[in-house]
Amino acid sequence: MPVYTIRPLDVGQFPDIPKPVLSYMNGFGEVIRAPIVMFAIEGAGIRIVVDTGPGDPERAIKYHRAMEQTENQHPRQALKNIGWNPEEIDMVVLTHLHWDHCGNNPIFKQAEFIVQEHEVRYAISPLPIQNVPYEAAFIGTSALWLSTMSRFKTIRGDKMIAPGITAVHLPGHTPGFQGVLVETEKGPYLIAGDCIPLFENWTAGEQDKYIPHGVHTDLFRYYRTFDKIEETGAPILPGHDLQLLDKAVYP
């Protein structure tokens, strides 16, 4: 079985996100800095990107919230900093279709995009409260991922997408959310992304064992997803935790 390395790339940061947005019913009154992370998986002659980051800060403040992004943090440059050219990437896995995870799809000009079918269906017509994170047409804009939809490869449920790499359906945060289970020299690691946005969502629950993301579509399915993640036994790589960036490469 091939083994891979995983690089978390900082492609922008939210400077002042209320903690309960990421940690449901926890941290009231706290404001935290949260990175937006794109992952680069490499091994066995394969390079795979997980998520493509947000659009530019001007678009973010117009439709969403304040976001900081230096030139060095732009996804194109973040990839070039590790010797990758986005035009040469063959596969991109989209964990979900919220604006800050698929805003740079167009720079991957050759890539096939792996997306859960249920996520695409929901993103086109989500619940009204989630029109904004999906940039649904109802808010007067057009989602950036639509221009690459012709290159979407939709899947249903868990699916091995390369030897030693499996897309894992983890509904709860969104109906078609998926993580990526990656075989490494130290066993499997799970890119959990926004399903587990902070390390403490997985480790610091008091009343409950785990803490969901503050934005979710189905808490019943979310808790079943927690059980599924626990069964993998894999270390978790979260989606918006500064501590994740303490290491340049995992494991």
Q: Do residues 49 and 89 touch, judged by C-beta distance below 8 A?
A: yes
Q: What is the pLDDT along the chain (251 residues), one digit of tens a residue?
A: 899 999 999 999 999 999 999 999 999 999 999 999 999 999 999 999 999 999 999 999 999 999 999 999 999 999 999 999 999 999 999 999 999 999 999 999 999 999 999 999 999 999 999 999 999 987 788 899 999 999 999 999 999 999 999 999 999 999 999 999 999 999 999 999 999 999 999 986 556 789 999 999 999 999 999 999 999 999 999 999 999 999 999 99
- Its CATH architecture, for the domain 5-243, is 4-Layer Sandwich (3.60)
Instruction: Give burial (CB, 10 Å; 0-12/13-18/19+) of 29.
Output: exposed
Where along the chain do its domains lie? 5-243
